[in-house]
Structure 1
Amino acid sequence: MRQRVVRVAVAAVLIALVLLALPLVVGIRYAYFADERGELERDALAAAVRVSPQFTAGDPVELPRPAEGTHVGVYDAALRLKAGSGPPTADVTARRAAADATVSEHTGGQIVVSVPVTSNEQVIGVVRVATDAQIVWNRVLLAWLALLGVVAFALGVAVLVARRQAALLSAPLEDLSAACVATASGDLSVRAAGSDIAEIDQVARTQNAMVAELARLLQQGRHFAANASHQLRTPLTGLQLGLETALATPGADLRAASEEALAQCAHLRHTIDEVLRLAKADQGLTDTVTRSASDVMDRVEARWHGAFADEERRLAVTLQPGTEDLPVPERTAAQILDVLLDNARIHGTGRVDVTVRETGGALAIDVADEGTVPMSSTALFERGATTGDGTGIGLSLARDLAEAAGGRLTLASSRPTVFTLLLPQPD
């Protein structure tokens, strides 16, 4: 691109210089020859003044000293050379001047000016002044060379300016191209630098906005896959174990096992719906399914009671008076509580208490165990942060779910561990 910009700029300047120089070339030639004719005419008039009225009677003429290369001659009425230098007999220019008119011609390699000499309104002679045209041509050629030097200097300056401007124009485009190549290679962290050129800067901003949106969509897709994997792993494991136990136990109630499996499948479907809802949270999708706090807590206790019992740990769910009938977004609360209870089972110790209470127009659900949290509350909710062998996704996902529902999830206490979920209540 730089070479193209330079070529276009130089071509434009060259055309402008040619269009400007051609009239100057013609003007210089015309001016030098016109100036020389004017000089010769002044010399001729100066010589004519020295011709006295007695010239016809043979009075000699004292001519001024001519410039080098200039020939001055005085001819009588018979057009014969009487003084100075020139052809012995008058040439065509002098003959025409004898008709009482000043004549200037470029002929025979010379510039000739002839003026008549009059006395008592009669032409008594002719003064002829001539110079070699090559002398004038030499001066014209020197002027043309000077003009050519100026044109070459201007063209050189134009090349330098064009190269600098080409660098200024192409540098941001090269940076933008490098950013596009990096993006195409999979690096979505690269951003195009701004530019002082408004049009290129607009392209860079558009490119950056596009890459940022692509990065957001890709990150959203990765988060969705990770969230779905995290949330589905535990219920799928429970479903598999329940079915395997029913098949391996002689005389087991298969109908009860099937009903439990169907309930687990329904919970899995709700889990998928909730993860999808979170992925589309920027579209304003909210959990519109609400149940009473007592119903939601009963379902949570039913799902997790067995898991804690298998580890010989107690799960206690308590609803403070007046909270039983308060509305709770079922799917959102269920997913968040599943994450908190799974964390309590894996990372916590001892008894687990789930307490539902009302505070300041909001519903608070506390999940507490007898363990400790060795991380700060800020780092704990960062995606990928974990205190053990986990993926570090659960608490980050739970916090996002709570915020998508207009609520808030916080670490109320690190020793013993207490997480508090705040859910807004309708006015």
Structure 2
Amino acid sequence: MRTRIVTLAVVSAAVAIVLFGLPLAVAGALYAQQYKILDLERQAERAAVRVSLALTEGDDPTEDDLDDVGELTFRSVYDTDGQLLLGRGPETGDQFVDKANGGRVSTGSLNGELVAAVPVIDAGDVVGVVRVSGSASTLLWPVGLAWIGMIGLAGLAIGAVYLLARRQAARLAQPLDQLSTAAQRLGNGDFSVRLPPVEYAEIDAVGSSLNRTASRLDDLLARERAFSAEASHQLRTPLTSLRLGLESALERADDDPRPALLQGLRSTERIERTVEELLTLARDTHGAVDALDVGALLAETRGQWSAQFEEQDRPLIVVVDPQTPPALASGAAVRQVLAVLLENALVHGQGPVRVSARDAGDAVGIEVSDRGPGITLTDAQLFTRRSPSATGHGLGLALARRLAEAEGGHLRLARPSPPQFALLLRAATSV
């Protein structure tokens, strides 16, 4: 590409120089020729004045009469019959001398010479002719120098165009090379690639499109990866519960297996719902949301989690303020956030767990608290995703905060000791 740009620029400059320089050179040569002919004519007129007295009296002019300051010229005098009287010129008058014998000044070029012939007039009669000539190549040598200078300037201009074209081609090719490299990186799976803006609008438009594509692909990949990690985390508890229930039923072979099977069926349904909700949230297909009945959602949550807390002799208390308005949020997202908070309370907390909902002005506040040890992590550490092998309250909280923010809400640690988490959601009455 760079070679094409440089070649095109140099060829365009050369064509422009030829189109403008050639007529200028020709015009300059013609002007110089006319100027030299006028100079010859002036020399001839001066000589005609000097020889007019001798010709009028019938005498022959002398060499001094033809002497002039003009150089590289040949001066001669002819009689009315066209015969050479003095000087250097053809023995018999040529067309210019014949025309001058008619009483008119004659100028022009002939056989590589520039010629000017001026009649010598006395009392209205032509008494002779003065002819001045010179070699065109000798008289017009400044034109040759001018042409050489023009050719030199043309070479300099083409050289300057070449250098500027190379520089501009490099500047233009650099963002295109970056664009090509970015496209290759994107094709190889590097979705973090981003192109900075440049000074070319067309390239910026392509770069912006590539950046948007990379961002969408990066977001899609991150969402799918997050789903894998989040699904693993969210499914661990119901799978563990299902496994423990089945192992307990096997150990009590004489007992009725129906309670264990019913408990396993409920765990399976919970796993199925969790998978569906996580798929919906990961692919962001839940679309617009309707007003969410927070009381009904918390009652459903209590039914799902109360048995697990009772196994540890820890009551699960759900309190809903009658003035609590509906929330503008996805039920799937809120259920997953509560699942993270309740699981953390179950694993890391102590004593009864209280889940309350209330009117928080233009928001709906849902609080989850227990009587466990205080949390010493900072907010940034607490809600940052860590490795799957990490332990503590931080496990799953990154997912919970991201889900809350995706619904236009916010999840925060309201009180570090004893721990209390607050989930704020948009109230349906605030819109």
Q: TM-score range by the shorter chain?
A: 0.7 to 0.9
User: Which residue in the other structure is 2:368 paired with?
Assistant: 366
User: Which residue in the other structure is 2:240 paired with?
Assistant: 237
Within 2, Cα distance between the matches of 1:227 and 1:255? 32
Residues 41/260 of structure 1: CA separation in 2 closer, same or farther (3 Å cut):
same
User: Which residue in the other structure is 1:83 paired with?
Assistant: 86
User: Which residue in the other structure is 1:380 paired with?
Assistant: 382
Query: Which of residues 411, 416, 423 is equivalent to 1:409?
Result: 411
User: Greater shift after overlay, 358-367 or 156-165?
Assistant: 358-367
Normalised by the size of structure 2, how large is the TM-score? 0.85
User: Which residue in the other structure is 2:288 paired with?
Assistant: 284
Query: Mind listing any 5+ residue stretches in structure 2 that lack a counterpart?
Result: none
Within 2, Cα distance between the matches of 1:406 and 1:98? 110
Post-superposition offset of 1:129: 1.1
User: Which residue in the other structure is 1:296 paired with?
Assistant: 301
User: Greater shift after overlay, 35-44 or 193-202?
Assistant: 193-202
Q: Is the 8 A contact 1:380 1:386 kept in 2?
A: no
Within 1, Cα distance between the matches of 2:278 and 2:182? 34
For 1:317, the aligned partner's letter is L
User: Greater shift after overlay, 17-26 or 395-404?
Assistant: 395-404
Within 1, Cα distance between the matches of 2:123 and 2:108? 28
Residues 142/104 of structure 1: CA separation in 2 closer, same or farther (3 Å cut):
same
Residues 295/283 of structure 1: CA separation in 2 closer, same or farther (3 Å cut):
closer
Post-superposition offset of 1:115: 2.2
User: Greater shift after overlay, 215-224 or 233-242?
Assistant: 233-242
Residues 140/228 of structure 1: CA separation in 2 closer, same or farther (3 Å cut):
same
Post-superposition offset of 1:248: 4.7
Q: Is the 8 A contact 1:115 1:126 kept in 2?
A: yes
Within 2, Cα distance between the matches of 1:107 and 1:295? 117
Q: 1:52 aligns to what SS in structure 2?
A: helix
Q: Deviations over 1:268-322 (max 9, x none)?
A: 122123223433178434685762644532332024433xx3xxxx311224586
Structure 1 position 184 matched with structure 2 position 183: no
Normalised by the size of structure 1, how large is the TM-score? 0.86
Residues 287/156 of structure 1: CA separation in 2 closer, same or farther (3 Å cut):
same
For 2:306, the aligned partner's letter is E
User: Which residue in the other structure is 1:37 paired with?
Assistant: 37
Could you say what the CA RMSD is over the residues aligned between the two structures, in angstroms?
Answer: 3.2
Within 2, Cα distance between the matches of 1:140 and 1:42? 21
User: Which residue in the other structure is 1:419 paired with?
Assistant: 421
Q: 2:415 aligns to what SS in structure 1?
A: strand
Within 2, Cα distance between the matches of 1:331 and 1:423? 14
Post-superposition offset of 1:399: 2.5
Within 2, Cα distance between the matches of 1:128 and 1:75? 8
Post-superposition offset of 1:146: 1.2
Post-superposition offset of 1:76: 1.3
Within 1, Cα distance between the matches of 2:243 and 2:388? 26
For 1:410, the aligned partner's letter is R
Give the number of aligned pairs. Answer: 420
Q: Deviations over 1:239-264 (max 9, x none)?
A: 23323433453233233333222211
User: Which residue in the other structure is 1:22 paired with?
Assistant: 22
User: Greater shift after overlay, 42-51 or 54-63?
Assistant: 54-63
User: Which residue in the other structure is 2:157 paired with?
Assistant: 154
Post-superposition offset of 1:165: 2.1
For 2:2, the aligned partner's letter is R
Residues 371/386 of structure 1: CA separation in 2 closer, same or farther (3 Å cut):
farther
User: Greater shift after overlay, 96-105 or 231-240?
Assistant: 96-105
Equivalences for residues 214-225 of structure 1 within 5 A? 214-225=217-228
For 2:377, the aligned partner's letter is M
User: Which residue in the other structure is 1:9 paired with?
Assistant: 9
Query: Which of residues 274, 277, 280 is equivalent to 2:277?
Result: 274
Q: Deviations over 1:315-354 (max 9, x none)?
A: 1122458669997986555433432232234334x43423
User: Which residue in the other structure is 1:133 paired with?
Assistant: 136
Q: 2:172 aligns to what SS in structure 1?
A: helix
Post-superposition offset of 1:20: 0.8
Query: Mind listing any 5+ residue stretches in structure 1 that lack a counterpart?
Result: none
Q: 1:50 aligns to what SS in structure 2?
A: helix
Within 2, Cα distance between the matches of 1:385 and 1:188? 22
